[in-house]
Structure 1
Amino acid sequence: MENENFYKLALRCADRQIASGDFLNFYKEFYNEKFSAKMENEDTPNESKVLEVSNLLASECIRLLSFEKSLILANYVVEMVFVNYNSDLVHAFLPQLYYITNSNMLIHFFAQSSAFFSKLSDKLVMDQLNKDLSTYVIPSILNVDVTTIGNDLVVAICKFLLLMMNFINGNVVLSSDRSRDNLNALLNRLSKVNKLLHKKVQQQADAKLIFKNAKNNVFPLESAVQEFVSSPSITSPQFEPSPISNAKAQASGGATVSGAKYQDIKLVRYYKNIWLNNKIINWGPIDSDFLSRYASIATSAFQGVTYSPQSTDSILQDLIETSFTCFAQFVNNKQYHQLNSNFNLLERQWMVFICKHLPLLILENGSGNSHTVPQALESIDDKVVKAIRTYYSEKDDMKGRNEDLFDDYPSNNLDIRHEFIKNLVSLGLQSPTLLNDYLREDQMIDTRTLLTTDDLIVTNSQGVQELVKDFKHFLTNSLDSLEPEVLINDSNDNADGLQQIFHNFENIPPTKQREISNILIDILQHALENLEFDRIAKICSVLSFNFSHSLTTILSFSSPTKICEMLIKFVDVSWDKFVEPRCKELVESEYDTMNFFLSFSCSILLLIVIWQTYDFSLVDVVLQSSESNTENSFVISYISKLPEIPDVFLLDPKNSLDQEMRTKSHQVVQNWLRDLFVNGSISDDLLQSVDLKQLAVLVPFIFKQVLLTLEVGAIEDVSNLVGGLEYFLQPFMLIGLVKIVYWLEQYLYSLKSENLDEGLLEKLLTLLNSIFNPQALNEDSKLFHSSLLRLNAVRLLRVLRQFRSQSQSNYGIYSTESSGHPKLELLIERLLSALNVSPTYNLDPRVITTENIYSQKQVGYGRFLILNENPINKIMTNQINSFWNLHSSTYYNLDYLKEVINLVSPRVFLQDVLATLEYKLDTYGVAGTRNKIAAVESEHVMDYLFYFLVLYDVRSQVDAVSLLQVMDGNSESPIVKEEMQMKTTEVAPKAEVSQDDDFDMLFGEPETNVTGVDKENQSTNVESKPTESKYNLTATLERHSFGLIIHEMKQECNEALSTGDISKDVCDKITKYHEKYVYLLKTCVF
């Protein structure tokens, strides 16, 4: 149906002689309405859906070009395929081009295409075109039967071909013999028609086109025919020559090395970098044996090398130097390699580690020598200091500076080094004078203002400062007397002690931060076990806001796993066993009733915040739980389907065929609708007809029905609806708003159109303001209400801002956002207010600014803006070259790199990296060496890669042992089978990763995406019967790990070898990879 609508749209535009640029706007609206919204609403990216849409549009383009009456249709197709460049559509359309028999239309199409490309200056389009030239564009152009076309078409084709070859950098390899033959025939024909053009095309073809099977191709090594055409460039990003073939060197940090070559020393530095990065991003415990594990990295990496023992102070010095080096690499990557991202959570984790955990390690493990830290700081490389200083200078000057990256700004700003020393001073480990002695080239600080003790002082209600000594007593008393709504008040007058602590959490000394964190988690655990609803609600509410990065810091002291385990047990187990059955007994007053409901709602809220903000897997927590399971977990079923509101409400969805239950469910809905919107009050009997878990689904179901009824025009007066919806703001019903804030996003997208009735928009905004921006709100509901608005506020802002009226597109020009309906602006302002209450991570800061700002770039609502700067193939190129060049860090930071790996899939990432490195090592050896080096030395490149893979997969020694048992066993890998048996979908909290505007424009990725995934591994959504293989918890927990992918590859190779489908050499290569991974599992320190 969509294809017919598109075809009619094009013909009607042609009949009215609509300009091609205007047609493109109509096409975009059509695409967004018919296809984009549907694909964005998918729980996971659906590549087959994108392919289906591309094929459909391509076939309609061919149909339009076969229409003989209007040449303007060719202009329309050029706009769709090339001006609005879409790689997937190009792939689908060009191979069908010569199905068109209308030569006049083809001539016009090539002429218009040539006119566009002759003036092309958009680097994004040129990069994507360059990638498609060898695989689709040029082979499709050369897929012509010269004997069936006229001279005019031959000339038009050759002009277009010449333009395409001009875009080639270097040369491209074409694998088809038919392309070579057709090119010769085309040139032969052209030589008789236009000799000047023939000469130009011939010269370009000889220089730029290489045919894989041609016998007379002779060219230098650097442009040699590569088996992997899409292999990254030989030139490495940030290339530095590596003196690997030279001799020996001294280890850093004072360690003496016997028999260690230069590459070993470099490898140790890389190992420490990757090890420390993984500890921080994965919330690794910074416990008593952290320092000893760090110190043993070198000895574990090189079993045959003897290292002289180091003192604890030497280890600490090396850790300090490594930490700042890693941080400098992090900010350098962020500044210059990751222009298409908005990540900043990992930066905060680095700051917590360096400024809080590192001083604690020095305090508890150092000898007390005051020279240890100054010596470590002085030994930090000047390049590291410069990178840190430049990064903070540019951060502070970002708003006012110009865009010249080569300007040399003097650094007068405080940075992470200042914070590190200030925390050392507060712990009494250093004199305040160190700050100005070491940072004498930076801003001087009045050392008299520095805290020289770790005392925690708060101001009481009488305005008198008090020293907090008993933290457990202080926290419990503050919690019990806390009025939650004051936490989000702008005024600091008479601020509660707990409020003072959380709003200033990042400035609290490390010792007190750790003590507060541990005690607060203990209080929460005791409250959950003893059903202290008031404390549960308050602690979860406070933590969910992450005031002054408090939640992030607390999670670094007490892992996310521990907190989530407690909360999931409370919601899934305790609530059903002990709370609901004793509801009347436990609730004795209206205050108890409020806390009863809020304790459940706030627990769910905090779980969502941790899952979404920190990309933390709740499924893994449940899988390892002895008291809960994925099939019966309310937490998993609820959170995995947050944006979904069912079309039919069922009290018991698991028994959907029970007719009696369905009838009862229908009656419950009718009763609620009657009381909410007719009677204007909710009876106690009605409230008791559903439990809280059912209410969490019933409220959004009612809200959905109200909006759908309003949309079809069945309701004129919304005043009664407003009164009913305001009941949703009562503490006992707030849980229902959680699903609403997620579902509303996709509903608004579906509603957005040029023809949206203003009256409908007015009514809709009235209803939304009644629940999201109410004029009056229950004091007990304020904190939770503000917190739940933050959950999906960013994505709601994106769609709401699209309802603003605009005179022209903001893309590529300087402009400001136009104003919208007053009620729309109130709604946007409320969401902005909620976001600005406390820190929000991985977000373009322009999203949460309230004023109109001029900006050349569009605001990015996602943390990873795919294709805004580089295509995915270029991103993969950079990272693979980083492995190949033996860099001391990954080219991209781990947060960014994880997104890339998830985007292309771990299997495709691994296969691409292995294939490319194999080719490079076989052909060129290790980068920077003049001659091919010995195989034993080239293995260091693979060592780099596999150390990264192992640490990416494994977080602890326990995980390593469990994974080793699976990989050392001979049983069939149960990954796919067990995932199907689980029937559990874990929705990763990275919907914003999905599509930025450029990705929407291209709606597809280069071939380095997930095209290489095995078909059998694509069927994980299919429900299968239980197999004979036993359930393996490790295999399920490590279901996305590189280790199990390598294990599966080995098993597949063994099977293929036994049937004669592959050679023994291929199987031996995979076996070698498997052995290398297993060896590192056994020897690495985690």
Structure 2
Amino acid sequence: MEEQSVYQLALKCAEREIPAAEFLNLYKEFFNERFSKNMSENDDSEINGSNMEEVATTLSLNFEELLNTGNSYLLVDYIITVLFVNYNSDLVRVAFPKLITVENNTMLIHFCSKLCAFLSQLSDKLVTDQLCKDLPNVLIPSVLNADYRNSSNELLVSFAKLLQRLLKFITTPITIQKDNAREHSHALVARLSHINKLLHKRLGQMIDSKLIFKDSKVNVFFKDPAHEYIHSPSLTSPQFISSPMSINKTPMSTTSTSKYKDMRLLRYYKNIWLNNKIHNWEPINSDFLSRYAAISPTLFQEGIPSSQSSDTLLTDLVETSFTCFAQFVSNKQYHQVNSNLNLLERKWVIFISKHLPLLILKHSSKNPHVITKALDNIDDKVIKAIRTYYSEKDDIKSRNEDLFDDYSTTSLDIRHDFMKSLIMLNLLTPNVINDYLREDETIDVKTLVTSDDLIINSSQGIKESIKDIPAFVSNEINSLEMEMLNDSSTGLTNGLYQVLTTFESVAPTKQKDIAIGIVNLLKESIGNSNYDKITKLCALLYFNFGHSFTTILSFVDPLTITELLIKFVDDSWGTSSNLKTEMSDDNSYESNSKALSIGWGLLLLIVLSNNYGISLPDVALQSSTISSTNTFSIQFVSKLPEILDTYTIDERNERDPNTQSKSHKLVQSWLSDLFVNGAISDELSQNTQTGQLSTLIPFIIKQVLLAAELGFVSDPSNLLTGFEYFLQPYMLVGLIKVVYWLEQFLSGLKNRTYPEALIQTMFTLLNSILNPSTLNEESRTFHNAILRLNAVPLLKVVRKFRSKNEPNYGVYYSESESSATVGPLIDKLVSVLNMGSIYNVDSRIINTETMYSQTKPIGYGKFLILDENPINKIMTNQMNSFWNLHSSTFYNLDYLYELIDLITPKKFFFDVFQTLKYKSNTYGVPVMRNKISTTETEHVMDYFFYFLVLYDVRSPDDAAKFINFMDTEGHMDTSPVQSEVQLKTENPLKTETSQDDDFDMLFGENDNETSAQEPEEDIQILTVEPKVNENNEMAILKRNSFGRIIHELKVAEEEAYKSGGIPKEKYEETCHYHEKYLALLKGCVF
């Protein structure tokens, strides 16, 4: 090599261990001195191009020599930094093919691994765009050109992972023109099948769906030539395609019956996949469209492929989304009168109105006809269902309006929200929206917003356009006063509060920027211990103004926010000082700020867990920074209603006599100082940690209320001063457990007979802490937030204490008819619930006006078991849904998941599984003209098992671990769970009649079918204890999964078969379904 070269520069830098970022600066200086002068002297672009090629050749030889002869991994970092951070297409085109073929396997493996890591974190859009342009002609052909037949296993896996990472940048299929690329890809996949089966499966699917090789056509969707309708999402005349689990099928022309063999609706799989994606908060990112496109090829393995453009995929996705939403609202309207679930509906609205337009903006050709074509192709029954649902919602809103008001209103629904967002993004012209209204309705298109600018009203009343979102979020948080959140009129002077209260009208692009800005600021504030900002950010998110928090969670992974808050609360709680420090004048403001920020973080964690369904233990298990065994926040949230009868300072040493003595003295001292002396003494404050207040204050309140219940409190005024002491900012965290415990306490109080005077004493005490007459500014907002946590159950029980002489014939109470102590508390609870958006609550509960019960009785729970909707009937309908092959499940996923949690996954699985097996053996398959054999009815189980897999698994990594977990020979690592092996199958609950109505096929079945029960057979239960091994992370994470139930069943039956307890056929059948679950787990797109 020449004396002065990049080769020598890199070796010298590696010897001195200079970081890659600094090497890049040295490289740029070297490049400018050595090469730039020769290139700049020539004005001729052809000469410059020739010079650049010579330079690139020289540099690539240097890089190649570095990998062949070098022994420092820093050299790999230098090369990747030069090639991809300082991206130059000409240099990559020449250098990359050489680097893939170097002879030093150790350096080459490291190069592939480091490049994968770099690409996985690549966020620079400019570099990404340049890289994507080089994918079809340079990067992917170079990787495919490697010598796979003579490579070591480690190097082959590195090549495969690098190719997989490059393919993830592809959103629509690309054509590879290089000769022999197809043969090389086959060689790679063939060898990979013997080394890493999971990687082989994934990479093979990605190559098939994303690469079109020279002189061939490969598509993301496979089409059966006999079924051209596969691309049509229309459900008016459902057509069937081959089952994903069918293998070695008989040709379609053999017999007339085999024409129907193992045929299913593709729409079902897209429906259930999309519902799971939205229900489980999975990100709608750049991979979303390619994953959606991969549903068909990963499930349906036969047919001749044909290409599809991004526009075609988007058209299909739009039609699918509206069809799914129509089925969702139709099920909700007609089949779920016993529930008040509406969070999933809000997620659907956000997805269709905000995320779909963003996907169109990113992936479409910007042709407006694509969108109008998709809207025009939506089935009439879908539009009818959506219109009917929104019309009924509008009717409910207007029932209390003037009966003589004859002014017509425009009927808008989710289609118009979708179009408004497209208009904001300049993907649709404003006048198009009038084409999708009824004939007698129009919208003034001049009122529609035609840009995605973020506009706020300044304090001077001037409209201001915001350009720098992160700076805007930070500045407005600084100027926000917590008191503004209690009064919407004063809060509107703050720009961020303004935006969040009208978040639904903000353009999708700006919603995403605000979401990222808020989360980044929260992360930064936690890192800097800026307690004021943490408090304000958590408060804004907590109240969910304008559904803003729900929308933010759709743009930012909820697990990220949850992990951030758990770590903050645990770290801050563990370093809390004693009470005297908190009460000192010098540190008063800072201490209050810290205490409030911890409290607000705790409230937000409770909301994420209880309202949004985020499992805090699962987040801890998957986190590398959180202890899953010793975390205050998780333990606190898991035991919210629990206030022990005996207080202990340290629960870990609660049996220690010394700990018991200290705890007893501490409680005695607090009771004495609060209710006798009227102030906390210095000695007591020194002996009390602020972290103990969350359990000490609830214990004291519980003991006082129990004493009052027993009649030991004759004059409550003597206790009020002590209770009001708890309303100081740093003590309010103690009320969190109280608002949960009061629900059961008041229910017990109402069920027993007590004098009216005692009841009034109770509510006088409760009003002093739940509805105080005065609160300082620091405490008021936090106090309101605590009441919101459990306000609905408290409303239910408190309303039972209203005076008996007031009317009670299905109407809400009137304030003037409630007692002086009960009425104000009810008003307070209603007012805090109305401070922001809430979910899964009957809206009539929080309506302050008199309102008659109309369509259904008022229910305070989100899932009600009523006389007309018993569990048996609900389960029967759901089983019929799986059996009748509807394009959607009979109930929506939120409803169905509540049902599974209620009856347990194990019972749900065995009830549905045994019933489907019985029906298949007894009746054959629905839509079949003749009864056929059991082997031809596997598609019924395919339906069911696809649902089970999507219920269990959320991500590819999750799937890979679970596959390894279930694939292991012998017994899985889990605690002993009794498995029931049934030697005879259970009987079905009900038979069905065929459905001829298209609307029934689209939106569900009639539930008025007659049932036919077979005589009950004796079922022999054989209980087998699986072997006990140590628990592992996956066993805990999948503790409630169907896969674990199926695996335990297999293990149990294996033991029973070996001991002669069950026949071989029974054991082989279970193994077959175990393999079916595993096959779908390996093939699903997550």
TM-score (norm 2): 0.70
* Deviation readout 1:436-476 (Å, 9 max, x if unpaired): 12335474211111111111111222222221111111111
User: 1:1039 aligns to what?
Assistant: 1039
Query: Contact between 2:314 and 2:364, CA under 8 Å: does it hold in 1?
Result: yes
Query: Contact between 1:414 and 1:443, CA under 8 Å: does it hold in 2?
Result: no
Distance 1:310 1:589, change over 3 A: same
Distance 2:431 2:262 in 1: 39
Distance 2:1028 2:260 in 1: 51
Give the 5 Å matches for 1:41-56: none
Give the 5 Å matches for 1:218-257: 248-253=227-232
SS in 2 for 1:444: coil
User: 2:1066 aligns to what?
Assistant: 1066
SS in 2 for 1:284: coil
Distance 1:432 1:456, change over 3 A: same
Distance 2:712 2:363 in 1: 72
Match of 2:411 among 402, 410, 413: 413
SS in 2 for 1:1082: helix
User: 1:836 aligns to what?
Assistant: 834
Letter aligned with residue 1033 of structure 2: L
Q: Residue 638 of structure 1: CA displacement? A: 1.1
User: 1:762 aligns to what?
Assistant: 760
User: 1:649 aligns to what?
Assistant: 647
Q: Residue 578 of structure 1: CA displacement? A: 8.6
User: 2:362 aligns to what?
Assistant: 364
User: 1:1057 aligns to what?
Assistant: 1057
Q: Residue 364 of structure 1: CA displacement? A: 0.8
Distance 1:612 1:912 in 2: 28
Match of 1:303 among 301, 304, 323: 301
SS in 2 for 1:457: strand
Distance 1:711 1:390 in 2: 52
Distance 1:1060 1:1012 in 2: 18
Query: Contact between 1:618 and 1:636, CA under 8 Å: does it hold in 2?
Result: yes
Distance 2:706 2:233 in 1: 71
User: 2:744 aligns to what?
Assistant: 746
User: 1:1048 aligns to what?
Assistant: 1048
Distance 2:1041 2:303 in 1: 30
User: 2:457 aligns to what?
Assistant: 459
Query: Contact between 1:598 and 1:732, CA under 8 Å: does it hold in 2?
Result: yes
User: 1:275 aligns to what?
Assistant: 273
Superposition RMSD in Å? 3.2
User: 1:1079 aligns to what?
Assistant: 1079
Query: Contact between 1:978 and 1:1036, CA under 8 Å: does it hold in 2?
Result: no
Letter aligned with residue 360 of structure 1: L
* Deviation readout 1:730-755 (Å, 9 max, x if unpaired): 11001001001001111111111463
* Deviation readout 1:776-800 (Å, 9 max, x if unpaired): 1110111111111111110001111
Give the 5 Å matches for 1:580-729: 589-683=587-681, 685-729=683-727
Give the 5 Å matches for 1:117-136: none
User: 1:933 aligns to what?
Assistant: 932
For CA contacts below 8 A with separation 6 or more, give which structure has more relative contact order: 1
SS in 2 for 1:597: helix
SS in 1 for 2:745: helix
Query: Contact between 1:266 and 1:888, CA under 8 Å: does it hold in 2?
Result: no
* Deviation readout 1:852-901 (Å, 9 max, x if unpaired): 33326532001111134322111111111111111100000000001111
User: 2:891 aligns to what?
Assistant: 892
Give the 5 Å matches for 1:206-355: 248-253=227-232, 266-355=264-353
Distance 1:247 1:938, change over 3 A: farther
User: 2:983 aligns to what?
Assistant: none
Distance 1:286 1:807, change over 3 A: same
Query: Contact between 2:974 and 2:1030, CA under 8 Å: does it hold in 1?
Result: no
User: 1:423 aligns to what?
Assistant: 421
Distance 1:254 1:1056, change over 3 A: closer
User: 1:962 aligns to what?
Assistant: 961
Distance 2:299 2:777 in 1: 59
Distance 2:1040 2:356 in 1: 32
Q: Residue 576 of structure 1: CA displacement? A: 2.0
Please tell me whether residue 871 in structure 1 is matched to residue 850 in structure 2: no
Q: Residue 641 of structure 1: CA displacement? A: 1.2
Distance 1:869 1:687, change over 3 A: farther
SS in 2 for 1:877: helix
Distance 1:384 1:854 in 2: 31
Query: Contact between 2:812 and 2:850, CA under 8 Å: does it hold in 1?
Result: yes
Distance 2:590 2:1022 in 1: 55
Please tell me whether residue 498 in structure 1 is matched to residue 496 in structure 2: yes
Query: Contact between 1:604 and 1:635, CA under 8 Å: does it hold in 2?
Result: yes
Letter aligned with residue 556 of structure 1: S
Query: Contact between 1:729 and 1:777, CA under 8 Å: does it hold in 2?
Result: yes
Distance 1:1051 1:313, change over 3 A: same
Query: Contact between 2:264 and 2:939, CA under 8 Å: does it hold in 1?
Result: no
Distance 1:282 1:973 in 2: 26
Query: Contact between 1:339 and 1:869, CA under 8 Å: does it hold in 2?
Result: no
Distance 1:680 1:894, change over 3 A: same
Query: Contact between 1:393 and 1:412, CA under 8 Å: does it hold in 2?
Result: no
SS in 2 for 1:892: coil
Letter aligned with residue 282 of structure 2: G
User: 1:536 aligns to what?
Assistant: 534
Letter aligned with residue 759 of structure 1: A
Distance 1:877 1:780 in 2: 53
Letter aligned with residue 794 of structure 2: L
Distance 1:779 1:1074, change over 3 A: same
**Identity value in percent:** 53
Q: Residue 827 of structure 1: CA displacement? A: 0.4
Q: Residue 303 of structure 1: CA displacement? A: 2.1
User: 2:99 aligns to what?
Assistant: none
Letter aligned with residue 390 of structure 1: T
Please tell me whether residue 950 in structure 1 is matched to residue 929 in structure 2: no
Distance 2:850 2:887 in 1: 42
Distance 1:277 1:892 in 2: 12
Aligned residues: 798
Query: Contact between 1:282 and 1:955, CA under 8 Å: does it hold in 2?
Result: yes
Q: Residue 264 of structure 1: CA displacement? A: 7.6
Match of 1:469 among 467, 470, 474: 467
* Deviation readout 1:627-650 (Å, 9 max, x if unpaired): 333431111221111111111211
Distance 1:870 1:807 in 2: 32
Distance 1:976 1:968, change over 3 A: same
Distance 1:1018 1:774, change over 3 A: farther
Distance 1:422 1:487 in 2: 29
Distance 1:616 1:978, change over 3 A: farther
User: 1:556 aligns to what?
Assistant: 554
SS in 1 for 2:1060: coil
Distance 2:825 2:300 in 1: 60
* Deviation readout 1:63-104 (Å, 9 max, x if unpaired): xxxxxxxxxxxxxxxxxxxxxxxxxxxxxxxxxxxxxxxxxx
Q: Residue 817 of structure 1: CA displacement? A: 4.5
Distance 1:699 1:587 in 2: 23
Distance 1:420 1:246 in 2: 35
Query: Contact between 2:921 and 2:933, CA under 8 Å: does it hold in 1?
Result: no
SS in 1 for 2:625: coil
Query: Contact between 1:313 and 1:367, CA under 8 Å: does it hold in 2?
Result: yes
Distance 1:638 1:829 in 2: 29
Distance 1:869 1:254, change over 3 A: closer
User: 1:5 aligns to what?
Assistant: none
* Deviation readout 1:1008-1029 (Å, 9 max, x if unpaired): xxx999998999xxxxxxx972
Query: Contact between 1:707 and 1:764, CA under 8 Å: does it hold in 2?
Result: yes
SS in 2 for 1:466: strand
User: 1:487 aligns to what?
Assistant: 485
Distance 2:911 2:722 in 1: 57
Distance 1:336 1:1078 in 2: 35
Give the 5 Å matches for 1:891-1040: 891-933=890-932, 935=934, 937-977=936-976, 1029-1040=1029-1040
